[in-house]
Amino acid sequence: MRAAFIRTLSELAEHDRRITLIVGELGFGVVESFAERFPKQFLNAGVAEQNMTGIAAGMALSGKVVFTYSIANFPTLRCLEQVRNDVCYHNANVKIVAVGGGFAYGSLGMTHHATEDLAIMRTLPGMVVVAPGDPVEADLATRAVVSDSRPSYLRLGRAGEPTVHPRGVSFQLGRAITVRNGDDLTLISTGGLLHTSVQLADRLAKVGFSARVLSMHTVKPLDTEAVLAAARETRAIITLEEHSVIGGLGGAVAEVLAESGELRVPFKRLGLPSYFSPYVGSQEFLKAAYGLSLDGILLSLKPVLDLANT
Amino acid sequence: MIEIGKVKALAKRLRIRTIQMVHEARSAHVASSLSMADLLAVLYGCVLKVDPTQPDWSERDRFILSKGHGCAGLYAVLAELGFFPLTWLDDFCQDGSRLAGHITHHGVPGVEVSTGSLGHGLPMGCGLALASKRDGQPYRVYTLLSDGECDEGSNWEAALFAAHHALDNLIAIVDYNKIQSLGTVQEVLKLEPLAAKWEAFGWGVREIDGHDFEQILRALTSIPFAPGRPTCIIAHTVKGKGVSFMENKLRWHYRSPDNDELRRALAELEVAE
């Protein structure tokens, strides 16, 4: 996703001189080509995220479209108040890019696990929150946030995520993409668990369940229509995210379902419980430890599937 | 030719309006507005290139009040210049007012950015100053900081950045009134040697008497002090300046003048030069 992002941004920057990329002394091996091609549209702010974010707001107030780029929680939580006050309150045209959503930097330890970012960014007034599910979505999301003047948060994976969508898939901020149609249950995922969701749908098909798969790349504004349609048309809803179950995609979908009133549908949030990982390991290892591997998910879904079948 | 007399008269009006606003609103930070009144009067009276009839003029100088709690003074000077009606000052901080108790740009012509949490103005100023340079724009960016605000690390991130990028169109003015919320700067967190710190960070620095109009004007018309360097003006000021019983008193960081204090303060200011 990282490579897709920088490739698309370079393409856009060529034609739109307002686009400026500010990195917080991170992006080795990724951002150099952009810096060389567009020296007047690039800036390394150093290891100083508060200043980086304030600078981004200031440049945006001068008419630029500014991307801040760092990894994990550094461009969000480290400078949260700058994001809230300088960016959101001024409705500054700033796009915050975090590489390494969830456990992408798994073995680097707790500091590098971005596992509450969606919830926190989602509460900020005016902020659009996007977690692309594959490199195709990362490309399209980058284009979409440039065409939209609101502040936005782009939560990317890292490298090597499988491509799920065919080229040319239709992408719109705030509109879920239906990856699979199905009537029995709906899997709603955000970010890199999209591929797992599709695999899960395949496995469920083998045991007789027809699963709808929604890629909810935009966590805010949430596609409430897609959620409500799933509640009406299918018999269970499961959310999947590499993020705390508090306040992210699962929380957002739960809010919609709870307020919908008449809709009573079995519902399960799959994600991370609210404790710091006691484990050391790769992204795949940590996901498995938290029950987010394919087998782990199937195990935890059994009660929901039983309920949906009754 | 700049008429110092007019600037002095403006400073006097700012002080009077500030005290009236804070009294009416029962709000705080009157002394913080008074210490910077002379700086604001010189800036808006004869230095900043701004146009009240076109608040969004693209080539205007940008002024950022990073010590957002001193907002009464800034609202007052903007109203005096005609950015918005003086009557707006009457309901400062009241229910339904346009003017919040920390400087707020929403719906208020002339306010560049909103602050209130300290340490935000200089980083945003860096962004504006860098954009000005990259776009070949003529404007300068002036940021007014409090001394207590210099405790915030983000200022020093910005100080490194501005010098590294040779932002000689960026000016930081420190309203060095020596008193913070809970004690003096000396008691809370020592800043000295303050000028040497900014110099060490690569800025051109001058210390002035922040109530001496000639000195303020001379400093503000000699920018940049060194080619290719951002400018820091350390303005030695008196907290509560202009009202004898407020001057250098910690309690006036938060206290709001009651009816009697308002009367006494206005009486002093009216007869002042």
pTM for this one?
0.96
Same topology between domain A2-156 and domain A177-309: yes
Edge-to-edge, what's the strand order for the sheet holding B170-176? B62-65, B141-146, B170-176, B231-236, B204-209
Whether B88 contacts B75, CB under 8 Å: yes
Average pLDDT, chain B: 96
Region B58-74: what's the mean pLDDT?
Answer: 97
Helix axes A2-15, A135-146, angle to 10 degrees: 30
Q: Does A308 touch chain B (CB under 8 A)?
A: no
Pairing type for strands B170-176 and B231-236 reads parallel
DSSP assigned state of A110:
G
- To 10 degrees, the CA torsion angle through A11, A15, A16, A21? 30
User: How far is the alpha carbon of B120 from chain A, nearest alpha carbon, in Å?
Assistant: 7
Q: Does B143 touch chain A (CB under 8 A)?
A: no
Nearest Cα of chain B lies from the Cα of A59 at a distance, in angstroms, of: 5
Number of inter-chain CB pairs under 8 A, A vs B: 89
- Which of helix, strand or coil describes residue B272? coil
The predicted model gives A232-244 an average pLDDT of 96
Tell me the sheet residues that pair with A298.
Answer: none
Domain count for chain B = 1
Given this model, what pLDDT does residue A307 score? 74
Q: What's the whole-number mean pLDDT along residues B214-226?
A: 97
**What pLDDT is recorded for position B1?**
57
Give the relative orientation of helices B71-81 and B4-25 as an angle to the nearest 10 degrees: 130
B72 touches A at CB < 8 Å: no
Segments forming the whole domain that contains residue B110: 4-271
Inspect the interface and report whether the beta carbons of B127 and A60 lie closer than 8 Å.
yes
Distance from chain centroid for Cα A201: 20
What average pLDDT does range A151-162 have in this prediction? 94
B44: pLDDT strictly greater than 60:
yes
Cβ-contact B110, B76 below 8 angstroms: no
Whether residue A59 and residue B128 make contact (CB cut-off 8 A), yes or no, is yes
Over residues B218-224, the mean pLDDT reads 97
CATH for A2-156 is 3.40.50.970
Mean pLDDT of A197-212: 96
Q: Is B127 within 8 Å of A54 when comparing Cβ atoms?
A: yes
Instruction: Inspect the interface and report whether the beta carbons of A50 and B126 lie closer than 8 Å.
Output: no
B51, two tokens: 């146009």
Provide φ and ψ at B97, rounded to 5°. Answer: -70, 160
Q: B133-190: per-residue pLDDT in tens?
A: 999 999 999 999 999 999 999 999 999 999 999 999 999 999 999 999 999 999 999 9
Least confident stretch, A220-234, A290-304, B38-52: A290-304
* Of B230, B224, B220, nearest in space to B155 by CA: B230
pLDDT band at A185; cut points 50, 70, 90: very high
Handedness of CA B174, B235, B39, B132 (dihedral sign): negative
B contact test, residue of A25, A43, A62, A88 with most B CBs within 10 A: A62
Q: Does B171 touch chain A (CB under 8 A)?
A: no
Contact B114 A90 (CB under 8 A): yes
Q: Are B59 and B138 in contact (CB under 8 A)?
A: yes
CATH number at residue B237: 3.40.50.970
Domain locations in chain A as residue ranges: 2-156, 177-309
Residue B255 has pLDDT above 90, yes or no: yes
Q: Is A64 on the interface with B (CB under 8 A)?
A: yes
> What number is the average pLDDT over the span A160-170?
92
Query: B126–A51: do the CB atoms touch at under 8 Å?
Result: yes
- Burial-class residue B138 by CB neighbours within 10 Å (0-12, 13-18, 19+): exposed
Report yes or no: B116 at the A interface, CB cutoff 8 Å: yes
Residue in A45, A54, A59 nearest the CB of B131: A59
Q: Which CATH architecture has domain A177-309?
A: 3-Layer(aba) Sandwich (3.40)
Please name the member of A40, A60, A86 whose beta carbon is closest to the beta carbon of B134: A40
Q: How far is A32 from chain B (nearest CA, A)?
A: 19
Q: If residue B161 lies in a helix (H) or strand (E), which one and from where to where?
A: helix B153-164
- Run of H or E residues at A77: none
What value does the mean pLDDT take over residues B53-58? 97
The answer to whether the CB of B34 falls within 8 A of the CB of B239 is yes
Name the nearest CA neighbour of B231 among B163, B157, B146. Answer: B163
Q: Closest-CA residue in chain A for B116?
A: A85
Greatest CA separation found in chain B? 53
B125:A85 CB<8 A: no
Average pLDDT, chain A: 95
Residue in A40, A51, A90 closest to B158 by CB: A51
B residues 88..107 contacting A (CB < 8 A): 105
Average the pLDDT over B36-51 and give the result.
98
Q: From B115, which residue of chain A is nearest by alpha-carbon distance?
A: A85
ipTM: 0.95
Rounded mean pLDDT, A117-131 = 98
